[in-house]
Amino acid sequence: MTVAELLARRLKEHGVRRFFGIPGGPSIPYMEAFRKEGIEFILTSHEASAAVMADVTARMTHVTGVCHATFGPGATNLSTGVGGALLDRSPLLALTSEVPDSWAGRTTQMNIDHQALFAPLTKATYRLTEATAGEIISESLSVANDEYPGPVHLGLPSDLAERTAKVKAEVKAEVKVEVEGEGEGDLFHLDERARVLLASARRPLIAAGLSAMRAGIGPALLRLLDRCPVPVVVTPMAKGIIPESHPCYAGVLFHALSDRLSKLTREADLVIGLGYDPVEYNYESWLHKVPLLHFNIIETDLQVPGAIQVVSSAPKWVEALKVLHGSDEMVAMAAEARSSVRTVLQELYAGFTPVTAIEILQDLLPRDAFVTADVGSHLHLLGQMWNVAQRGRLIMTNGWSSMGFGLPASIAAAITCPKATVACITGDGGLLMYAGEMMTARRLGVKIIVIVLADGELNLIRVKESWRKLSPYGTDLYHGSLFGSDTFLGTEVMRVIDNDGMHRAVSKALRSDKSMIIEAATDASVYSSLIVKS
């Protein structure tokens, strides 16, 4: 096989069914080889979107995502989305064309060192040759899927695709999968201090994070809570690990009104981190002077004095907690925190605000809808307020937090689950960064509902300026209507200015078989009372 054919075959065997990007001339042999293997190429409007789509595809299918870009500016554009896969923990292969060996290190058009570019943004970066292609492809898939999952970069010299790959017959693409119940360490042999902390705690608090969500320990955690009621706080990307209706659910750290959790966190005599990933929110930002017992799949670079780390497979975390004592007092505090958040939100129902717009969406969208969230003030509100009915149905970036994520993420969700309702909730600033992907959605014929909470500014920056008692500066985006038209790139736009209009627009979008954009001109002033200083 040629190198291009080998790469296509290995990815097909791995389960890859589509890849995303913008091609260059050297990409053509790879695209053709992939096409022959039944791997669909999705052309995007921007390379960063391609990486976001590959990231979200990996999250939804549990198969490594694949994206591609050409030399220089293509690679630098791609790198923005690749960084998201690194800090949001998604397995991904980022393919880029590179100059041939004879041109490496020389001054020539579009030539930069892609290995140096991607080194800090990936778990590993390689440059393929015909002699090493088989080994490197297999190694890349393993590295991408090992904990923490993340991106691997593969440089493809422009003269390599049609060379014959020198591959041993026994080399196969394999991914390391940890079998449930196996792993380093034995939680029945915790050190003495950890055992004492668990057994003696009378006001324990569980903080569940991204690794716990990815490991799928929600059902085991619920069984524990039924026997031993302990309040649970979650990081934004772990929302949905237990139902928000559960009496032990307290709320989301870091996002809107999270200061309502401070009494709970202050009164705890032991904090138990379950798959808590500091990439979302460092412990030091909210943890009081209380013992910390941190369970994770790999060692974490904690800076909390006296913290105890337990590294093992995820199923053993919950097993170790069977010695815990429940606390009716702490569960009551969790209820108080939830009630306090609801009370504040209800006070903001007057007028047409982001709170009321999101409430209408929550009422009208099907419970199994996929909702993608862009970055901005609205994300802080959405992360705390949105009721996640099913695990993984609220898709966001928090570790990387790159504006523009929401729209390409929604397209990836719609491609992956074409029968599902998919909605993107974004701000006008984030939409403007990747608005060209509306043409991608139109070309692919996928249906997405894009809700733009339009306030004409970069509101999160404006709020942070107000914390410094500064006048708004450098945050205005436009005046008047965002679109100023009833269509955008061939997609219908409905501008709404009140709750009734929002209700009608969402209802119409749900009935339609095409994508629709809802420009919701909301009153952004409420954010200042919702977003918590961090």
| pLDDT on residue 502 | 98
318: helix, strand or coil: helix
**Whether residues 254 and 148 fall in one domain:** no
Note whether 138 and 251 are same-domain residues. no
Query: Does residue 113 lie within any of the structural domains?
Result: yes
Residue 452: helix, strand or coil by DSSP? strand
Secondary structure in 3-state letters for 91-119? CEEEEEEECCHHHCCCCCCCCCCHHHHHH
Domain shared by 316 and 356, yes or no: no
The answer on 463 and 317 residing in a single domain is no
pLDDT at 233 over 70: yes
What CATH code is carried by the domain that includes residue 16?
A: 3.40.50.970
Whole-number Å distance between alpha carbons of 529 and 317: 37
Q: Are residues 516 and 375 in the same domain?
A: yes
Instruction: Please check the confidence at residue 444 and state whether its pLDDT lies above 80.
Output: yes
Residue 176, in any domain of the structure: no
Region 396-420 average pLDDT:
97
What is the reported pLDDT for 178? Answer: 37
The pLDDT of residue 189: 60
What number is the average pLDDT over the span 479-492?
96
Q: Is residue 456 part of a domain?
A: yes
Amino acid present at 423: A
- Categorize the per-residue pLDDT at 105 as very low, low, confident or very high, splitting at 50, 70 and 90: confident
Write the CA distances from 445 to 42, 366, 448, 487, 517, integer angstroms. Answer: 12, 21, 10, 16, 15
Burial class (CB in 10 A: 0-12, 13-18, 19+), 434: buried
What pLDDT shows up at residue 106? 76
> H or E stretch including 427?
strand 422-427
Whether 487 is covered by a domain: the verdict is: yes
Report field, pTM of the whole predicted structure over 0.75? yes
pLDDT of residue 173: 38
Average pLDDT on 38-64 reads: 98
Give the mean pLDDT of 386-403.
91
Is residue 178 situated within a structural domain?
no
- 381 shares its domain with 423: yes
pLDDT of 107 reads 77
Same domain, 127 and 251: no
**Integer angstrom CA distances of residue 230 from 221, 286, 336, 423:** 10, 18, 14, 34
Is 247 a residue whose pLDDT tops 90?
yes
Total structural domains within the chain: 3
Name the domain boundary from 311, 339, 367.
339
Which segment of 114-128, 177-191, 287-301, 430-444 scores lowest on mean pLDDT? 177-191
Q: Which domain holds residue 42?
A: 3-157
* Residue 249 or 391, more confident: 249
What pLDDT does 267 receive?
96
Mean pLDDT, the chain, whole residue set: 93
Is the pLDDT assigned to residue 517 strictly greater than 80? yes
Structure confidence by residue, pLDDT tens digits, 161-215: 999 998 775 444 343 333 333 344 444 467 788 889 999 999 999 999 999 999 9
167: in domain: no
274, 320 Cβ separation under 8 angstroms: no
Is the same domain home to 299 and 429? no
Structure token pair of residue 292: 């910390």
Structural domain ending residue among the three candidates 310, 339, 368: 339
Window from 101-110, 200-209, 246-255 with minimum mean pLDDT: 101-110
Contact at 8 Å (CB) between 148 and 178? no
CATH number reported for the structural domain that contains residue 324 in this entry? 3.40.50.1220
Q: What is the pLDDT of residue 103?
A: 72
Instruction: Output the pLDDT for position 187.
Output: 42
pLDDT of residue 169: 59
**Last residue within a domain, chosen from 339, 364, 397:** 339
Q: Residue 173 falls within a domain, yes or no?
A: no
Pairing of β 151-157 and β 92-98: parallel
Q: Report the pLDDT value the prediction gives residue 406, as an integer from 0 to 100.
A: 98
Span 488-502, mean pLDDT?
A: 97
Quote the CA–CA distance of 309 and 322 in Å, as a whole number. Answer: 18
Same domain, 109 and 210: no
Q: Is residue 533's pLDDT more than 90?
A: no
Residue 172 lies in a domain: no
pLDDT above 90 covers a percentage of the chain that reads 88
Residue 324 has pLDDT above 90, yes or no: yes
- Give the tens place of pLDDT for each residue, 326-381: 999 999 999 999 999 999 999 888 899 999 999 999 999 999 999 999 999 999 99
Q: 252 with 113, same domain?
A: no
329 and 191 within one domain: yes
Q: Are residues 126 and 217 part of one domain?
A: no
